[in-house]
């Protein structure tokens, strides 16, 4: 199967936060309105540059996530482009009202970076920090765009696009190193899903860190004579309804893959589009009404049914449902 925009073999392992910081250094030099706000989170590779060259464009509030978002709203009201940084669990848990009332309600130009603990695949942090509910909680807030990059290349492209977009955006960044999937030539567009594979037997719709496992699942299936379409749904809101409806009509079965809760998450969003427009079998791979727990990435994937083998199995199940419904 031809892989669109995918490196052969996959490239270097790198964290999304590292790639994000590299993009922020580039953007800061070009746009003097960009400011960075931190709430008890490491500044990473931008620290030296900003502290030395832009001391009036970097703020640290400590453990005060609600204040971080409120201050960002004020800065945005004054014409700045603030990027906030805090653990995802505390941004969603402690600053939800501020995101809703102070930022999204007035559609202020604030960029909320969900750092390190977005999703369940956070090794050793445990259920208190693994944010399984971030997609569900944030996608119901009007005016708020929600994006979830899959690799370092896409992280940089998303960061640049988000800086140019006028309005509130939340960016999910996983903490673990991920392989570089995309070539630099890949044409990113906010709100438009990317077709990595274009098989006709079923469709896998993945987001974020789970895209690489979905690629592996597609390889497993191809060896068994099953060719899938693979969509990278990097923009969860606004979701690419056109791509979902086309997948439903042209492949007849869909599996969604995410590292968060399937209740109200990507799986829920896709199911809503499918049931209202072109009903086909849908199976959701993700967290099933459970909290996270400590473990390695591989252990967590196995425990929560997030492995490539689990995805491949789900594809075969929806294909069987498709056949039986004919």
- CA distances in angstroms from 266 to 51, 60, 124, 304, listed in the order given: 38, 32, 25, 16
- C-alpha closest to that of 232 among 5, 2, 1: 5
Among this protein's residues, is 65 annotated catalytic?
Answer: yes
Alpha carbons 18 and 2: distance in angstroms, whole number? 30
Q: Write down the catalytic residue from 22, 65, 133, 154.
A: 65
Q: Are 135 and 236 in contact (CB under 8 A)?
A: yes
What three-state secondary structure class fits 60?
Answer: strand
Beta carbons within 10 angstroms of residue 156's beta carbon: 23
Alpha carbons 197 and 300: distance in angstroms, whole number? 27
- C-alpha closest to that of 32 among 59, 54, 2: 54
Contacts of 263 (CB under 8 A, 6+ apart): 136, 289
In angstroms and rounded to an integer, the radius of gyration of the C-alpha atoms of the chain is: 19
CA dihedral 203, 206, 212, 215 (to 10 degrees): 0
Handedness of CA 234, 264, 244, 217 (dihedral sign): positive
Contacts of 32 (CB under 8 A, 6+ apart): 57
Residues known to be catalytic: 65
């Amino acid at each position: 199967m031809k892989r669109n925009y995918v490196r052969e073999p996959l490239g270097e392992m790198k964290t999304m936060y590292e790639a994000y910081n590299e993009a922020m250094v580039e953007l800061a030099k070009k746009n003097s309105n960009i400011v960075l706000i931190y709430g008890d989170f490491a500044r990473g590779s931008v620290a030296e540059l900003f502290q030395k060259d832009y001391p009036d464009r970097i703020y640290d509030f400590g453990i005060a996530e609600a204040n971080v978002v409120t201050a960002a709203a004020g800065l945005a009201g004054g014409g700045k482009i603030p990027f906030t940084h805090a653990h995802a669990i505390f941004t969603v848990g402690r600053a939800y009202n501020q995101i809703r009332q102070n930022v999204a309600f007035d559609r202020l130009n604030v960029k909320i970076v969900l750092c390190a603990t977005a999703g369940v695949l956070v090794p050793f942090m445990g259920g208190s920090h693994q944010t399984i509910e971030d997609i569900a909680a944030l996608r119901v807030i009007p005016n708020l765009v929600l994006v979830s990059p899959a690799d370092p290349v896409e992280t940089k492209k998303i960061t640049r696009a988000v800086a140019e977009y006028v309005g509130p955006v939340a960016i999910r960044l996983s903490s673990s190193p991920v392989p570089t999937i995309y070539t630099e030539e890949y044409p990113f567009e906010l709100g438009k899903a990317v077709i990595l594979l274009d098989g006709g037997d079923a469709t896998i719709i993945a987001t974020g860190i789970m895209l690489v496992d979905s690629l592996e699942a597609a390889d497993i299936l191809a060896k068994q004579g099953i060719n899938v379409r693979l969509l990278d749904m990097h923009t969860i809101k606004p979701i690419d309804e056109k791509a979902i409806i086309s997948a439903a009509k042209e492949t007849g079965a869909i599996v969604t893959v995410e590292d968060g809760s399937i209740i109200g998450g990507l799986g829920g969003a896709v199911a809503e589009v499918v049931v209202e427009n072109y009903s086909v079998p849908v199976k959701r791979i993700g967290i099933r009404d459970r909290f996270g727990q400590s473990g390695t990435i591989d252990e967590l994937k196995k425990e929560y049914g997030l492995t490539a083998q689990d995805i491949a199995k789900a594809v075969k199940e929806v294909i069987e449902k498709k056949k039986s419904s004919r």
